[in-house]
Structure 1
Amino acid sequence: MATEFDSAAFLAGLPSLPGVYRFMNAGGEVIYVGKAKDLKKRVSSYFQKTHPSPRTTLMVSQIGAAEYTATRTEAEALLLENNAIKSSQPKFNVVFRDDKSYGYVLITGHQFPQIRFYRGVQHKGNRYFGPFPSAWSVRETIGHLQKIFLLRTCDDTVFGHRSRPCLLHQIGRCSAPCVGKIDAETYKHDVDQAAQFLSGKDDDVTAEITKKMDAAAEALDYEKAAEHRDRIRMLQRVRSGQAVETAKAGDVDIIVGVEREGVWAVTLAMVRGGRHLGDRTFFPSNANGLNANEVLEAFMEQHYVTQPAPAKIVIDQLEGPTSMEEMLTEASQRPIRLVSRPVGEPRLWIDMARKNASLALITRIAAQETQEARAVALQEFMASESPVARIECFDISHTMGELPVASCVVYDKGGMQTSEYRRYNVKGVEPGDDYGAMKYALEVRYRPLAEGEGKVPDLILIDGGRGQVNAARQVMTELGLTEIPMMGVAKGVERKAGLEELIFPDEQEPRILPPHHLALHLIQQVRDEAHRFAITGHRAKRGKARIVSRLEEIGSVGPKRRKQLLAHFGGLQGVMAASVDDLARVEGISRTLAERIYNELH
């Protein structure tokens, strides 16, 4: 029998220090994680007679245990809190999905620098501009820089081995430094101008190009003058296309939260160097019933732990005293200004961001309604007494039996749960044996479930016909999990979308739904994702295997040299990306052998 939580004893042991506290329910599940500048003062507020909201009252009623971790500063507590929220996903915390890191425009530190999209750890010697809210906005910017400054985008392997200009030079997108069409000093100047442009110094760049145009015109070099004129026009077009553009703005983030029907949307718009780089909208979970203050503060706490904060953050609807500015300043180790009641130009930014948030929210709600309608239709089609909320779908991918890969994708909570996807390298099965591969995948997937671990799906989808379904059914019978519904999805007679045959283990004849049926749309969505995930996994595995095979087929490259190559370059991708000079630097690899290896691999 669970003992009642002794809040008085816990509070008595709390220090008046910064730190993180965690509340657990009677089953030991973390239900809330919070941070505090003063642990004793903050945690004590939860155990007063009155609470600020029914949500807090409900949370406190479920506390069965609590623990804390003291830290040196509130900024340290912020980092610890964020990690705990991401790992535990407590039901009373607002949780923002952990997206991929933001993209940057990278200008490398080579003699002839390359410009390209970059996401990851930043290294000394290179220049990074951003962050950008989406990969699309990064690539659009790189496209502009190609047109205006003619910088190379090719990888070093390609750059170092060209004997004539590529197509990009022929269409006026690259100055072809690879074959000496431009000298290093002139190219460096173009790179510096591109960096000025990315830093928001558009006027300086335009002024310099204008001087060059005037000088070329005076020297009667009208062709050169026309090139400079075209660059100025492209710069002006880029600037006129900015929704927010001001020389005084500098680096600013604009944050707005909009709520509708219990769903929150938080839009982050980014201005860097006075240029609007675009925006991104986030949809937090567990935010129903909260006010704007709580949602926006949760966003800033989670977002700026992993992303650099600009010098100025404009945020709407934030009311009352907040330590957020002080905390962000401490975490960033530089002054951060939080503007919560903007006027003038920042007010226009807020209005624009709110409009974008509202549009994204309308789309989100419509998509949720569609998914809910599909789930209801599937439940009715299957005559299930309970909702079909969690679907796990399996597919097998191989090339003529080579290197089979099984995929399992998960649909839950109204959408695809990519963090729960899994791939299985099929072992101990004859090449081309799809039934054996399906058995292997389900055995690996559901053996832990049979032993009491894991989540029980409401439906198992099998991408395949009667044979695959029977194989899957056999495994589930051996595991004692026959109560889980199963359905096979086979291509119809003409193998067209909308003509799928739905196969149930206990029914002789397949069922066919009309192409417009909502249940079929959900089945197709999950099946197609499993197919995509299996194919990408198989292609990656096949590519690696073939590189190894090609290494093995190269004369004079035995096991020892293969091991040296892989160790030196950190794996197969590194060997593929290496130039002849790079390969020749490996111990035991002569220049002649390096050239042979490079030619064989390319």
Structure 2
Amino acid sequence: MTEASLDTGIDIIKTHVKTAPTAPGVYRMLSKHGDVLYVGKAKSIKKRIVSYTQPKRLPNRLLRMVAATASMVFVTTRTEAEALLLEASLIKRFRPTYNVLLKDDKSFPYILLREDHEWAQITKHRGARRHKGQYYGPFASVSAVNRTLNTLQKIFQLRSCSDSTLETRTRACLLYQIKRCSGPCVNHISKSDYTDMVAETRAFLEGRTSGIQKKLAESMQQASDELEFEVAAVFRDRLNALTHIQSHQTMVNAMVDEADVIAAAEVGGQVGVQVFFFRAGQNWGHRAYFPKHDKEDSLEDVLGAFISQFYDNKPAPKLVLLSHSIPEQNLLGDALSERMGRRVIISVPERGKKADVVKEAARNAKEAIERRLAESASQTKLLEGVAKAFHLAEPPKRIEVYDNSHIQGTNAVGGMIVAGPEGFMKNAYRKFNIKSEDLTPGDDFGMMKEVLERRFKRLLKEDADRERGHWPDLLLIDGGKGQLSSVMEIMRDLGVTDVKVVGISKGPDRHAGREQFHMNGHESFMLPLTDPVLYYLQRLRDEAHRFAIGTHRSKRSSDIKKSPLDGVSGIGPKRKKALLHHFGSAKAVADADVRDLEGVDGISRAMAQHIYDHFRG
């Protein structure tokens, strides 16, 4: 930042002050490239942005922002609460350089009890709520959902399979055999009994478990009295599963029926936030967050910005318990209440059971940030070692690792993983479905060429001046000298000659630990077996391989699940089930003549002819 650039930025802001509205709303500060530098909200936009023209009152971070400002955009709202919600939404959308950013903001998993089918389904759900039914959550992680679903299957035995699987199944699956499903697909349970279990499941997920426990105990005793010992054993197992999950819920949880507990801690200038989820009197897990912020930001400011962004795409509970008071706490409560259509209370408990829960969350937040700082220090040393090994001027801020996966050329995909000072940057991972039809099956060189051309052509188009931090400092390629020379040729053709490229090959006898490293203009070399940098590079290569092969398997699995009957118009689940029951396989359906097809229930002569013609072009 120079004095001239600061003066220019102030002049630009003064120009916008003349036309700025006095109403509440949101303002955006933009760089010369159109990137959003900062998003802010104000009760009066005009009064707020005037403060940026007074440099003596601004901290260094905002002075840098003003110096980089080339233009501004304003959006007015009806109320300041609306402005607060819009600000959080825009921050998450544009990820401005000078805002506090919630970095890991994946949507949370829920349990969905689908009731838009005669046999209700229970499953985990993430994303848009397209299905009719009850959504229970959020859960802190997929593993927390899986544990709860596993218990629910033991207790209530509702189906978890898809509608298409249910419609086409001819015999009970393994879940029925191990008593995790009641077998509605083959009518092993009446609809009335299944409906009762659905109601019990709903009651459990809403925290009403005492009646379920009593009913299961009575059913077990009745079956035992009638000498139906196998039936009694089923009720016993369900009762044990229910008792087990209840025993894992503490008395503290009962004091917090529906709440999010959000606590922050600061260590070494870094803020960590821990969120505990309580629903239906049960603890549904917790998760740690590490918002990106400037060291000049106070813990309270970081926590306030975190909460407004956290609830941008998530329903807020009735109660939010905090470890610290935050700026505009009442305004945020009003904004969330307006969004949810019911009252949302944000409070900082000072005593009692709720305060104890918050203290526990704060302790977890402190431990999480300490672990993160320790890992960061270790990561810094590793990157310094990488720079030394590969003759880089400074430790790399962004390492990209590429790998391909296929089976004899089929379902070919390329994978790119990214790592940096904070470890694996999973939100930057990319997969590339190989599109070229001219490649020889299994041509790894051709696949790598397509991947790199697509990757760097896009970079050259979107970030040619390299100011957005998307350019790698180091490329790691899984391969030896031949693969390296091929990649170097591709990079030269693209005009990219200043990115270091390193090939990793397995070395003699393909033993782990004896990897050879290949760089253009250097002899191939190996690192000492005990060098931590070697382990780190192995980890990067293995992560790229895991990501590529996982993507390939997902694509292959999707293709395998497709039935030839799916492509026949007019064939829905019922007709598909009837055809499969009659012929035994989709291949037999494809080979059948019109007369045989016409003999299937629900298949008219016209439909039989249509199916016959479909499989014969």
Distance 2:101 2:43 in 1: 21
CA contact (8 A) 1:406 1:426 kept: no
C-alpha distance 242-54 of structure 1, shift in aligned 2 (>3 A): farther
Match of 2:387 in 1: 379
Distance 2:126 2:606 in 1: 33
1:472 and 2:481 are equivalent in the alignment? no
AA aligned opposite 1:324: L
1:194-593 matched pairs, under 5 angstroms? 194-213=201-220, 227-243=234-250, 246-247=253-254, 249-319=256-326, 322=329, 323-422=331-430, 423-427=432-436, 428-447=438-457, 452=464, 455-507=470-522, 509-542=523-556, 551=564, 562=567, 564=569, 579=577, 590=607
2:71 to 57, 65, 69: 65
Q: What stretches of structure 2 of length at least 5 have no aligned partner?
A: 581-585, 587-600
1:5 and 2:10 are equivalent in the alignment? yes
AA aligned opposite 1:370: S
C-alpha distance 544-585 of structure 1, shift in aligned 2 (>3 A): farther
Q: Deviations over 1:297-320 (max 9, x none)?
A: 111111111000001111111156
CA contact (8 A) 2:303 2:326 kept: no
Match of 2:592 in 1: none
Across the aligned residues of Structure 1 and Structure 2, the Cα RMSD in angstroms comes to 3.5
**CA positional deviation for 1:42:** 3.3
AA aligned opposite 1:440: E
AA aligned opposite 2:434: N
Q: Deviations over 1:179-222 (max 9, x none)?
A: 33321111211121111111011223223334445656677767
1:94 and 2:103 are equivalent in the alignment? no
Q: Deviations over 1:562-596 (max 9, x none)?
A: 4747xx99xxxxx9997558999999984798799
Distance 2:477 2:574 in 1: 36
Distance 2:102 2:269 in 1: 16
Q: Deviations over 1:251-271 (max 9, x none)?
A: 111000111112221111110
C-alpha distance 271-424 of structure 1, shift in aligned 2 (>3 A): same
CA contact (8 A) 2:17 2:50 kept: yes
C-alpha distance 123-244 of structure 1, shift in aligned 2 (>3 A): farther
Q: What SS does the aligned partner of 1:131 have? A: coil
Q: What SS does the aligned partner of 1:268 have? A: strand
1:136 to 130, 133, 143: 143
Match of 1:557 in 2: none
Q: Deviations over 1:395-453 (max 9, x none)?
A: 22222233533333332343333343331515233333322333333333334556736
C-alpha distance 506-328 of structure 1, shift in aligned 2 (>3 A): same
C-alpha distance 402-143 of structure 1, shift in aligned 2 (>3 A): closer
Distance 2:106 2:55 in 1: 42
Match of 1:150 in 2: 157
Q: What SS does the aligned partner of 1:267 have? A: strand
Q: Deviations over 1:116-136 (max 9, x none)?
A: 111122245322211111111
Q: Deviations over 1:137-158 (max 9, x none)?
A: 1111111111112222223333
Distance 1:123 1:281 in 2: 29
C-alpha distance 414-292 of structure 1, shift in aligned 2 (>3 A): closer
**CA positional deviation for 1:33:** 0.6
Q: What SS does the aligned partner of 2:10 have? A: coil
Q: What SS does the aligned partner of 1:408 have? A: strand
C-alpha distance 441-154 of structure 1, shift in aligned 2 (>3 A): closer
CA contact (8 A) 1:254 1:269 kept: yes
CA contact (8 A) 2:575 2:603 kept: no
CA contact (8 A) 2:144 2:285 kept: yes
Paired residue total:
581
Q: Which moved more, 1:119-128 or 1:278-287?
A: 119-128
Q: Deviations over 1:69-112 (max 9, x none)?
A: 11233444334323322233222211112533111111222222
Q: What SS does the aligned partner of 1:305 have? A: coil
**CA positional deviation for 1:49:** 6.7
Match of 2:598 in 1: none
Q: Which moved more, 1:202-211 or 1:2-11?
A: 2-11
CA contact (8 A) 2:263 2:273 kept: yes
Q: What SS does the aligned partner of 2:446 have? A: helix
Distance 2:48 2:569 in 1: 57
Q: What SS does the aligned partner of 2:511 have? A: coil
C-alpha distance 135-578 of structure 1, shift in aligned 2 (>3 A): farther
Q: Which moved more, 1:75-84 or 1:334-343?
A: 75-84
C-alpha distance 424-576 of structure 1, shift in aligned 2 (>3 A): farther
C-alpha distance 129-321 of structure 1, shift in aligned 2 (>3 A): closer
C-alpha distance 595-377 of structure 1, shift in aligned 2 (>3 A): farther
Distance 2:539 2:512 in 1: 11
Q: Deviations over 1:464-496 (max 9, x none)?
A: 111111111122233333332211001122223
Q: What stretches of structure 1 of length at least 5 have no aligned partner?
A: 555-560, 570-574
CA contact (8 A) 1:310 1:336 kept: yes
Distance 2:249 2:426 in 1: 34
Distance 2:575 2:537 in 1: 40
AA aligned opposite 1:429: L
Q: What SS does the aligned partner of 2:272 have? A: strand
CA contact (8 A) 1:114 1:153 kept: yes
**CA positional deviation for 1:512:** 0.8
Distance 1:424 1:226 in 2: 51
C-alpha distance 93-320 of structure 1, shift in aligned 2 (>3 A): closer
CA contact (8 A) 2:27 2:74 kept: yes
Q: What SS does the aligned partner of 1:94 have? A: coil
CA contact (8 A) 1:397 1:406 kept: yes
AA aligned opposite 1:431: P
Distance 1:388 1:446 in 2: 18
Distance 2:292 2:451 in 1: 32
Between the aligned residues of both structures, percent identity stands at 33
Distance 2:611 2:199 in 1: 35
Q: Which moved more, 1:44-53 or 1:373-382?
A: 44-53
AA aligned opposite 1:311: K
